[in-house]
Amino acid sequence: MDLAELQKHALELLAQLERPPCILRIQVGEISVDITWADQTRPAQVGVISTAVAEEADGEALGRYLTSPGVGVFYHAREPGAEPFVAVGSVVRPGEQIGILEAMKLMIPIEADRGGRIAEVLKGDGEPVEYGEPLFVLDVEEV
């Protein structure tokens, strides 16, 4: 994540707060966010924010998944019978194609928004998915 991107996420986060904090601390490796308000003695923990799903803020869980970027049908491979893009054990890098989303007859490549080892495949080939739905469990620590 570069500085401009970080700044954008920080501003988005601030916009969601009910009142301005006096300290906002963001760490990028092992992403963590600390927010302190003036009348508070302990910093509040806000959920982990990943680059792709910053607005989810659904707690730490989403940091472990690669999620669907849209609504449609999810495919593992370029065509029926072909090798899947990734399988359990594959190591993916950010930007690497991990599947295809078909939406209204358009085939849209799905790319990993961050790297790691695929620990589990959650959605079957040809299965309908929603926006933000977890597709793969990612093991980040192993890499």
Q: Under the criterion CB under 8 A, does residue 96 sit at the interface with another protein?
A: no
Question: Hey, which residues between 108 and 137 contact another protein (CB under 8 A)?
Answer: 128, 130-133
C-alpha 8, offset from chain centre: 16
From candidates 43, 70, 84, 134, binder to another protein by CB under 8 A: 70
Of 33-41, 79-87, 90-98, 99-107, which segment contacts another protein by CB under 8 A?
99-107
Q: Which is nearer to another protein, 62 or 121 (CB)?
A: 62
Q: Count CB atoms within 10 A of the CB of residue 32.
A: 15
DSSP per position, 52-71: S-TTT---GGGGGEEE-SSS
- 38-70 b/e (C-beta count within 10 Å ≥ 16 → b): eeeeeeeebbbbbebbeebbeeeebbbbbbbbe
Task: Give the Cα separation of 125 and 36 in Å (integer).
Answer: 45
Least distance in angstroms from the C-beta of 100 to another protein: 14
- Which of 62, 59, 63, 61 lies closest to 28, judged by CA? 63
Q: Which is nearer to another protein, 60 or 87 (CB)?
A: 60
Q: Which is nearer to another protein, 72 or 99 (CB)?
A: 72
Q: Give the count of residues interacting with another protein (CB under 8 A).
A: 16
Residues within the interface to another protein (CB under 8 A): 18-19, 55-56, 70-73, 103-104, 106, 128, 130-133
